[in-house]
Amino acid sequence: MHIGLLGGTGPAGRALAARLASLDYQVTIGSRSRYRAMEIRDTIVGRWPDHHLVIDASDNEGAASAEVIVIATPWDGAAETALSVKDALAGKVVISMANALARVGGEFQPLVPPRGSVAASVQAAVPEALVAAAMHHLPAKELGAIDQPIDSDVLICTDHLRATEVTTEIVRAIPGLRALDAGHLSNATPIEAFTAVLLQLNVRYKTRVAVKLTGIGEQDAPTSRVEVSGRAAENGDGGAGAPVPVHDEA
């Protein structure tokens, strides 16, 4: 699987690039500047010489040619970055991992984008893409420590069944992570906002916390899922955005 990281030169993007490359995914780091992407690629590869990581570097347009896209920009650039390569993202799974946050005084506070979440803003910018919100709560340092597992759950929310499947596959490939289907993209609002709580705990207790939920068995899975279809209105099935039932395998 070829995964392109748009705006992948920040802490989260470079950590994810290293982790995915260590798992033998084909990875392309994208940036507004191809030369910046090349610099970050060389830094990652140089940090882990024994792992022989293979990572490509390109501008965002080049990274958008991958099969699966991760938007790793700061939150306020996520929708704009997606829009800049809109045509290349049509029909593809696009994972949004940004959180809208601000530090006010000594506290982190969540911000609410006009669409309710960063992921929803990305979906509105590229309506033909299959946007999933995921990986918001993973500490960048642990994510980038590719010789260690990460003991954490990853909440995935999306309106597209295919995006759930692909994102789950990627998350499960990372040692220690458990993928959880957290429902529709509307749930990205509280999931993104909760990151402010985790960061505040990090400051208060001088640690790096991760999300781990109890009460869900490793083999538990929902028996059904609904997918939002953009064609519902055209087909007379209840108006734009009407949910169309689909069924997962138990």
Cα–Cα distance, 18 to 57 (Å, whole number):
13
How many folded domains does the chain comprise?
Answer: 1
Q: Tens digit of pLDDT for each residue in 225-240?
A: 555 444 333 333 333 3
DSSP string, 45-72: HHH-GGGT--EEEEEHHHHTTSSEEEE-
- Residue 139, domain CATH: 3.40.50.720
Q: Is residue 73 part of a domain?
A: yes
Residues paired with residue 68 on neighbouring β-strands, in sequence order: 3, 93
- Write down the number of H helices and E strands in the chain: 9, 12
Q: Is residue 69 part of a domain?
A: yes
Q: Is residue 237 part of a domain?
A: no
Q: Is residue 246 part of a domain?
A: no
Phi/psi for 245 (5° steps) reads -65, 135
Q: Tens digit of pLDDT for each residue in 59-108?
A: 999 999 999 999 999 999 999 999 999 999 999 999 999 999 999 988 99
Q: Tens digit of pLDDT for each residue in 136-192?
A: 999 999 999 999 999 999 999 999 999 999 999 999 999 999 999 999 999 999 999
Q: Is residue 210 part of a domain?
A: yes
Q: Which domain holds residue 50?
A: 2-216
Q: Is residue 32 part of a domain?
A: yes
Provide the pLDDT for residue 218.
67
Considering only 130-134, 216-220, 234-238, which range has the smallest mean pLDDT? 234-238
Phi/psi for 239 (5° steps) reads 95, 170
Q: Is residue 225 part of a domain?
A: no
Q: pTM value?
A: 0.87
Query: Using an 8 Å Cβ cutoff, are 156 and 133 in contact?
Result: yes
pLDDT band at 248 (very low <50, low <70, confident <90, very high): very low
Provide the pLDDT for residue 230.
43
The distance from CA 223 to its chain's CA centroid, rounded to whole angstroms, is 24
Cα–Cα distance, 63 to 107 (Å, whole number):
35
Q: Is residue 184 part of a domain?
A: yes
Beta strands, E only, the chain: 2-6, 26-31, 55-59, 68-71, 93-96, 101-104, 107-110, 130-133, 152-158, 177-181, 225-228, 243-246
